Amino acid sequence: MNHSVSPIGIVHSCFKEKFAIPRQPQLAPAARGVLELLPPFNQGDAVQGLEQVSHVWLLFLFHQALEDKPRLKVRPPRLGGNKSMGVFATRATHRPNGIGQSVVKLERVEADRLWLSGIDLLDGTPVLDIKPYVPYADSVEDAFNGIASAAPALIAVRWSDEALVQAQVHAQRLGEPLVALIEQCLAQDPRPAYQTPAPERQYGACFWDVDVRWHYPAPDTITVLTVVPAAA
């Protein structure tokens, strides 16, 4: 059976590239975005009642990881990128139908848009459906996962004086918790697990409209070096 699906909305996210997006939602509460609803879902009727809900499930398309050939095994970054695992045992982005799911906080409901936080979604992500989080059914008390048993360990994030001032200025201009966003995302240690970073090597990622650069003065510490406007 073939069945086609179409997006009900598009996410406008703080994350402009895949690198440095947390591996799951809720890991960076300062990660915010807006889900713009598309016709005919943007008139208010479809979201009526959602103001009584704190969190929603988003079913979405990994639109920047779609592939024609199905993969049966994947190498999840969480396992260091060098151990393969059945695709259905992982939350990897390369999936048979390219479908992702994230539970995110609903900050505000408007007729044609939902304001979200705690997201792990790339800018432009097409959303296929929205469902309310139902605490009594969606939270399983005795659940376990031997592959991903706990949230990834955090690493220390420090700032150069220059970068902190730059981030504070951009935070004020954007009206966004940019300092917290950078700290929460970098604390997840975005570099691939197999890379041992030389202190002179710089890494970078774009959040909102700024480029953030950092390095690892020691393997378990990040120092943010600069926060400057991204090239247009």
Q: Which residues bind ligand SAM (CB under 6 A)?
A: 18, 21, 23-25, 62-65, 91, 93, 100-102, 120-122, 125
The CB-of-64 to ligand SAM minimum distance in angstroms stands at: 4
Q: How many CA atoms lie within 13 A of 196 on its CB side?
A: 0
- Looking at the Cβ atoms of 26 and 160, the one nearer to ligand SAM is 26
The CB-of-122 to ligand SAM minimum distance in angstroms stands at: 4
The CB-of-48 to ligand SAM minimum distance in angstroms stands at: 26
Contacts of 119 by beta carbon, 8 Å cutoff, 6+ apart: 11, 13, 14, 15, 25, 31, 32, 33, 102, 104
Which of 92, 114, 99 shows the shortest CA–CA distance to 42? 114
DSSP-derived secondary structure letter, 42? -
Decide if 35 contacts 127 (C-beta within 8 A).
yes
E strand or H helix at 163, and its extent? helix 161-174
Name the pairing type of β-strands 73-74 and 156-159: unpaired
- Looking at the Cβ atoms of 95 and 170, the one nearer to ligand SAM is 95
Q: Count CB neighbours of 114 within 10 A.
A: 23
The CB-of-110 to ligand SAM minimum distance in angstroms stands at: 23
CA dist 15 → 85, 108, 150, 179 (Å): 27, 20, 24, 14
- Looking at the Cβ atoms of 90 and 223, the one nearer to ligand SAM is 90
- Looking at the Cβ atoms of 60 and 214, the one nearer to ligand SAM is 60
- Looking at the Cβ atoms of 164 and 230, the one nearer to ligand SAM is 230
- Looking at the Cβ atoms of 14 and 225, the one nearer to ligand SAM is 14
- Looking at the Cβ atoms of 65 and 228, the one nearer to ligand SAM is 65
The closest residue (CB) to ligand SAM is: 100
Query: What does residue 158 show for φ and ψ, rounded to 5 degrees?
Result: -120, 165
CA dist 29 → 14, 90, 105, 218, 227 (Å): 12, 23, 8, 26, 20
Q: Label residue 185 left, alpha or beta by phi (over 0 means left) and psi (-120 to 50 means alpha).
A: alpha
